[in-house]
Amino acid sequence: DIVMTQSPLSLPVTPGEPATISCRSSQTLLYSNGDNFLNWYLQKPGQSPQLLIYLGSNRASGVPDRFGGIGSGTYFTLTINRVEAEDVGVYYCMQALQTPYTFGQGTKLEIK
Amino acid sequence: QVQLQESGPGPLRPSETLSLTCFVSSDSIRGYYWSWIRQTPGKGLEWIGYIYYNGSANYNPSLKSRVTISVDTSKNQFSLKLTSLTAADTAVYYCARGSTYSDFWNNYYFDAFDFWGQGTVVTVSS
């Protein structure tokens, strides 16, 4: 199985400041077609996960442009340009390259 | 937009079988992969398996011997059966839609879980 490792596990952020979450995979997620099969999800308190970023850098429908994903191969980052109160929750990366699909352990973002 | 709704069982006992159904509204079940995912405080998010609308399935090897996922396109729903339950199967179970995209050569690839149900709590206890 591909192991996904996130850091940090906890991220206190002041509103208006940027935030960055990292995700490493135990195998490359870059496929021969040039796409990186890496997704980012946000699970807000009491809710199910929601898709933020797919294929490494594509924002899902309705996701604000303050969220951005970059990276390739085995190292990826999710950046929030200016954190807002509604961004609190747990962020997960997930590899969609091969089954079994696997998730990172999650990064809990909280407001200072 | 598409909505997914899990039907949940009552409390279950060890060795019993879990049966869950996910109802898909506002969209056809055809053309997508449909997955079950569970979440526990200890193991986090775990993908259980998926079924394509045509009935082909793929399961997590860690659960494969106990899992069956089926689809009923006439009712726009898909289901999960998990046998020989233990306390370790206590979790929140989500159903989710797997979206796909095609390349220039019409090859299709799964890319993300774009819609999720609200989740149903399953408790296994003696």
Which of A51, A101, A102 lies nearest to residue B114, judging by beta carbons?
A: A51
Collapse the DSSP code of B76 into the 3-class scheme (helix H, G, I; strand E, B; otherwise coil) and give the result.
coil
* For residue B27, pLDDT beyond 80: no
At A86, give phi and psi (nearest 5°).
-75, -5
pLDDT of residue B25: 92
* For residue B108, pLDDT beyond 90: no
pLDDT of residue A81: 96
Would you mind telling me the total number of residues written for chain A in this entry? Answer: 112
Cα A41 off chain centre by: 6
pLDDT of residue B61: 98
CB A42 within 8 A of CB A90: yes
* For residue B38, pLDDT beyond 90: yes
When pLDDT is averaged across residues B3-19 and rounded to a whole number, the result is 93
The pLDDT-based confidence of B26 (bands split at 50, 70, 90) is confident
* For residue A18, pLDDT beyond 80: yes
Is A51 within 8 Å of B117 when comparing Cβ atoms? no
Which of A37, A94, A99 lies nearest to residue B58, judging by beta carbons?
A: A99
Token pair, residue B30, equals: 């055809």
Distance (Å) of CA B62 to CA A103, B17, B42, B122: 15, 17, 16, 19
Q: How far is A106 from chain B (nearest CA, A)?
A: 8
Which of A48, A54, A103 lies nearest to residue B111, judging by beta carbons?
A: A54
pLDDT of residue A91: 98
Spatial CB neighbours of A94, under 8 Å, sequence gap ≥ 6: A4, A38, A39, A40, A41, A101, A102, A103, A104, B45, B113
Distance CA(B47)–CA(B49), nearest Å, equals: 6
For residue A17, give the DSSP letter.
S
pLDDT per residue as tens digits for the range A73-103: 999 999 999 999 999 999 999 999 999 999 9
Query: Nearest chain A Cα to B48, which residue?
Result: A100
When pLDDT is averaged across residues B23-31 and rounded to a whole number, the result is 87
